[in-house]
Amino acid sequence: MPLGRQSPTSAVVVEKSPAVQNEPALQTSSPVDRFGMPDTDATNENEDFLTFGVLAELGLAALTFLFAWMLGGQPLEAWINDWRDPLVAVTRIGIGLLATLPMLLVYAVLDRLPLAPLESIHKAVEDHLLRRLANADLAGIAALALAAGFAEEMLFRGWLQPRIADLVGHPWGVWAGIGVASVAFGVCHWLNWAYALLATLIGVYLGWLAVFSNGILAPAVAHTSYDFIVLWILLKRK
């Protein structure tokens, strides 16, 4: 496993000969162990976590159909509505891409605020996600973001939100659907209370986007784009 920062008492200094000092350092994109050799255990762990993450997200899509079968609802209705016309689909993809910008702006602002709840979010993401994705490439990040964006939107905005709206009825059904789906979205993203609260607020925004665009393609594109860009930024910092 890759080692973290060494403490002064645990660091071992090895004096190199001039010949060794002049040799170029080994460049590798893989994690390395304490001897500078590729750490295959860390690489395998990263790949296993990435595979598990993608499969877990796809499992949410399957769970959506199980819930719909047991509790009613039409999770595919929104998808059919999104793709009924190519121009409609392209328009909603464009709306989703534009809707990513406010989320990224909020992320950029929050990332610079020295507040304790935000620091707890950074630590939770570091401990539970970034360390396990340390060796992921762009294709892996894209696969995870795509699976999360579309599977989670199918469950929360494609099935749960309209189902609650139908059960409550007019005029409060739309808001009840957004509220319940957003809270469920936040709870399912629980790393700590601050992270869950932030996820809930993002859920409200995505829920409104689903209502505004009359489908889930726009929120799915926004969700996917946001996850991909933020993960890429965070992993580049490491």
Question: Please, what is the average pLDDT of the chain?
Answer: 85
Check whether 29 has a pLDDT greater than 50.
Answer: no
Using 50, 70 and 90 to split pLDDT, how confident is the model at 43?
low
Structure tokens at 192: 């700590």
What's the pLDDT tens digit per position in 169-181? 999 999 999 999 9
Q: What pTM was computed for the model?
A: 0.80
The C-alpha torsion from 57 through 70 and 215 to 169, rounded to 10°, is -140
Task: Kindly tell me the sign of the dihedral angle through the C-alpha atoms of 99, 101, 106, 111.
Answer: positive
Q: Which domain does 214 fall in, by range?
A: 45-237
Q: Is residue 119 part of a domain?
A: yes
pLDDT digits (tens, 9 = 90+) for 76-113: 998 888 999 999 999 999 999 999 999 999 999 998 88
- Which residue carries 């894209």 as its tokens? 142
Amino acid at the residue 88:
V
